Amino acid sequence: MTTRFAQRLATNFAIGVGLILLSLFVGMLAYRYFEDLRWVESFGHAAMILGGMGPYAEPKSEGGKLFEGFYALYSGLLLIGVTGLILAPIIHHVMYLYHLPDVGEASKSTKPKTQSSKAKG
């Protein structure tokens, strides 16, 4: 395992964990604001939605219901994004190991065939 690969993987992993923790904190704040829950209860509700398990108690306020719906949609997209972020260096490393060209490199190496500029005469 190369140092550059390990750095990329660690960086992407740290960014992913940071996004998850930030999203968890925002969810906790919103549950405290909309549903007037204690911190531990807010953590439980936000973690269940963020983890993809779904809510374990129905929100009581209209704002809480709207927030929970949008938070669930956001959480699903976050899961896909963080998974791609963490897998990107791994896929790139596998391509490197098998000497597969990047898309940009393949298009640069093939030159379009042009006709000769000599006129028949």
pLDDT value of residue 63: 93
State whether residue 51 is helix, strand or coil.
coil
Quick one: pLDDT at residue 94? 85
21 pLDDT above the threshold of 80: yes
Question: What CATH number is associated with residue 61?
Answer: 1.10.287.70
Q: Which domain holds residue 33?
A: 3-100
63 contact partners, CB below 8 Å, separation of at least 6 = 33, 34
Closest CA to 57 of 70, 71, 41: 41
- Is 118 within a domain? no
Determine the pLDDT at residue 97.
82
**Whole-structure pTM value:** 0.75
- At residue 101, the pLDDT reads 74
How many domains are there within the chain?
A: 1
Tokens of 82: 């963080």
Encode pLDDT of 62-111 as tens digits: 999 999 999 999 999 999 999 999 999 988 888 888 887 766 655 555 55
Please report, as a single letter, which amino acid is at residue 63: G
Is 74 within the bounds of a domain? Answer: yes
Residue 27, token pair as written in the block: 């969810």
